[in-house]
Amino acid sequence: MRLKLVRENTSVDFFSKARIWLGISLVMMVVALGSFLIQGLAFGIDFQGGTSIRTQSETALDIGEYRNALVPLELGDVSITEVNDPSFAENQHVAMIRIQAQEGDERIASDTIEAIQAALVDVDPTITFQQIESVGPKVSGELINTAILAVTLAVAAILLYIWMRFEWQFAVGAVLALVHDVLLTIGIFSELQIKFDLAIIAALLTIVGYSINDTVIVFDRVRENLRKYKKKDLKEVLNLSINETLSRTLMTSLTTLIALISLFVLGGDVIRGFVFAMIWGVVIGTYSSIFVASAILLVLGVKRDWSKKDPAAGTRYAHIDN
């Protein structure tokens, strides 16, 4: 007995409100871009430069005492936040201390880190230092440029791949859907001011791969059905293709989300930002492969005069229910 998320021969009309879906996506993209331009991203140490110290103590935290202990060191902007996690023990009190990059220093001096540790130990003898990360201003700037280049090259490579495998209309639809996914992910991080670091860049690249996989499977079936139903309207062919691959799309998304939600709840705060980005990306990627990429293809149109038949196209991904 197989689990079926979608009944056979389903015929949902995904394009009856195509303009509404595109309008919603456009509004979300404008809001995301506006949030990014107005309040920016909460860059982590990777991109901002500075020192990040993760501490753990057996006694309750007093952020005021921590801050007062660091004032004589004249470190500049210091941010101290308590980390709360349901998985922590009752006597496990964790804090994250972020210190801005010191002007003129490529790296945070080791004696400065030692002075910070000594000052905090004086306040709380039970304190331990779980993690210390330091990034200089020059390195952080290079990381920003490299991250932008990595995402741009990934999208450009996908554009080239889709263009070679399909028609140019398919490539435009797929890449615009990817831009939609990346922009909305950056927007949610800007809106919620969640820490944005190299782990999130890794999540963005993973989201790009996940989203394009869904889109290519739908487009593969569209190409097959365009050859098979030469007289059907493009809108009907798109609806048919999405319905035929809907079971596979939902099954893949739901099983992926089950694993990601488990990691989000049980994995601890260290990977929570990365996992949140992945959860958001899976939801948005599934939405865009159905409503955005195909809707753009419908608007652009596609030629219908393919003479050669490709019996293998699209047959690998139909009606996958397990």
Q: What is the CATH number of domain 50-134?
A: 3.30.70.3220
pLDDT at site 322: 40
- Residues 190, 194, 200, 204, CA torsion sign: negative
pLDDT on residue 321: 46
CATH T-level assignment (fold) for domain 18-43+140-300? Multidrug efflux transporter AcrB transmembrane fold (1.20.1640)
CA–CA dist 282, 211 (Å, integer): 7
CATH 1.20.1640.10 residue ranges in the chain? 18-43+140-300
Per-residue three-class SS string for 208-251: HHHHHHHHHHHHHHHHHHHHHCCCCCHHHHHHHHHHHHHHHHHH
pTM exceeding 0.85: no
32/180 Cα distance (integer angstroms): 10
Q: What is the pLDDT of residue 313?
A: 47
Half-sphere exposure of 286 (CA within 13 A, CB side): 18
pLDDT tens per residue, the chain (322 residues)?
455 666 667 777 887 777 888 888 899 999 999 999 998 888 877 777 777 888 888 888 888 888 888 888 877 767 788 887 777 778 888 888 887 776 655 556 778 788 888 888 888 888 888 888 777 666 667 778 888 888 888 888 888 888 887 888 888 888 888 889 989 999 999 999 888 888 888 888 888 888 888 888 888 888 888 888 877 888 888 888 888 888 888 888 899 999 999 988 887 777 888 899 999 999 998 898 888 888 888 888 877 655 455 544 444 444 444 4
Query: DSSP secondary structure string, 284-317?
Result: HHHHIIIIIHHHHHHHH-------S--TTTTTTS
How far is residue 285's CA from residue 216's CA, in Å, rounded to a whole number? 12
CA atoms within 13 A on the CB side of 72: 7
Helices (H) and strands (E) counted in the chain, each on its own, are 10, 6
| CATH 3.30.70.3220 domain extents, the chain | 50-134
